[in-house]
Amino acid sequence: MKQAITLFLGACALLAAVLPPGSRAEGVITLKSGEKLPGSLDTLDSPYLKVRSSILSKPVDVNLEELDELVSSRPLEIPEQFSVIRLANGDEFYGTLKALDTESLQLQTAWGGLLPVNRKYVRHIGFDSQKAYLRNATESLQGWKSSANSMLPECRNGYWLMLGYNNTELNTSFPMPSRLHVQFSLYHTNTFRINLSLWQDSNSGSSIDLGLSLEKAELSKNSSGQYRTLGRVKRNTERNWYADKSVKRSDVHFYADPEKGNYYLYVNGEQVGRWEEVKDMDNIFENESGDDEEEDGEASKKHEFKPGNTLAVSGYDGLNMAVFNLNVFDWNGALPHLAEEQDIISKYDTDASRDKALLVNGDVLRGAISLQENGSIRIKSDHYDVTIPTAKVRALDQKSQEEKKLPEDGADTRVFLTDQSILSLNLETLRNGFMEGRSAALGKVRIPLKSIRKVQFNLQSPELRKQRETPFRNR
């Protein structure tokens, strides 16, 4: 069977070469072998999936065991306001929260109607209290470009693969507010080096730059091609990190307010950089010799910081990185607190409810959480009973003394939807424009194919799991 598929794909490649320029398929299907063909899903007659392709005269059957993924050309369609439900297995559902009590919740979705979810599987309920300018930007390269001397990274499985054989730099523009919260994650080996440039303006040469590596973080302000370091911190690293070849993950949150001069950097939940009231560097620059010089009058105006609307991400030669989960939000300027830092109640009351509400201002309240008819959140404990507007709630988290996990259902398929939802299920049928399967948390689900932008098959395959978790190690 595998040989037949290989021959079939070879024929596809030849046919693709003679397709007219205007022809394009809905998506790209990738086999476990790495071979690709343009196509879309048709029907399922297990163990065979019928695939349609613009380069074929009729659909063809492919064994499910041979499939890696399907990536469609459908773009993300993100609503202005929404709630996000995250399960213990990493699944996510986006929609409008309609009901919530101690036992269950109901989420109105664009693709599946009203979804009932058992709360014992729910780890996190988030609210869109911050306007998003970029969401999951690494899902594609659409809207991004590179500088003249750089190359775009390879985009695969929601990762930007910045490989060591070339410098990578990419940038995009959007109306940037005066304060930003940037979030992204990295997979890297024994070291990494990445630069984030905000409010970049090609005309004035202005930008706020964050350089991040395993051993240090450096913040700088640029104007007219000259820069001044605003802050630098050394990070605690193992002495033998040069010899450590294991794949590491770094989750980064950067909060920036150039007008007030406040900047906060978190890596893997730990605050590693805190710079406050450093805006006085506007008129201080380094000359060519590296000495500081103060400028006033016309010289000062020449180097005035003029923020632009471009964001740039750069990786450096000789290093392997996989960048994912890049999000850019508006920021209200409040000092970002970790829940553990502000969780006063649980520190002094070990019997306090494990359910907690994280407010926009950084406060944490614990108690029984429910959704009221007017859409507000009620938090009730032995110490208080308060009702808070949803706009003032950042997230609701639930974690018992014993971790609540989904049962071992051996889900074989993961579906990524156009509204950013991610759902793991056992695939059962594919017909009449719908995919049907069974989810451990939701039970029977029915998903319109028009709402699917990516499908990962064979989730239990050790080979594919390793590749998906550490994408640049198995190239």
Domain locations in the chain? 1-72, 133-330
Q: What angle do CA 248, 188, 213 make, to 5 degrees?
A: 100
Which fold is adopted by the domain 133-330? Jelly Rolls (2.60.120)
- Mind listing the pLDDT tens digit of every residue in the chain (475 residues)? 444 454 444 444 433 433 333 333 368 888 888 888 888 888 888 888 888 888 888 888 989 999 998 888 777 776 666 788 888 888 888 888 899 887 888 999 989 899 998 888 888 888 866 677 888 888 888 889 987 667 788 887 788 888 766 678 899 999 999 999 999 998 887 677 899 999 999 888 899 999 998 788 999 998 876 778 898 998 665 544 455 567 778 889 999 999 999 999 998 878 889 999 886 544 443 433 344 444 454 555 556 778 899 999 988 755 678 899 899 988 888 776 654 444 555 555 555 556 888 887 777 888 888 898 888 899 888 888 999 988 888 788 876 544 445 554 578 999 999 888 899 999 999 989 899 999 888 889 999 999 998 899 998 888 888 777 666 554 4
Q: Which two tokens stand for residue 401?
A: 């003394």
Distance CA 416, CA 447 (A): 11
Supply φ then ψ for residue 131, to 5 degrees. Answer: -70, 135
Distance CA 10, CA 459 (A): 26
Q: Which two tokens stand for residue 439?
A: 């989810």
Distance CA 46, CA 75 (A): 29
Q: Which residues pair with 69 in a beta bridge?
A: 30, 456
Distance CA 389, CA 421 (A): 25
The CATH code belonging to domain 1-72 is 2.30.30.100
Task: Spell out the residues 6+ positions from residue 399 whose beta carbon is closer than 8 angstroms to its own.
Answer: 123, 354
Question: For residue 137, which amino acid is it?
Answer: A
Distance CA 182, CA 212 (A): 13
Task: Spell out the residues 6+ positions from residue 150 whose beta carbon is closer than 8 angstroms to its own.
Answer: 166, 167, 168, 169, 170, 314
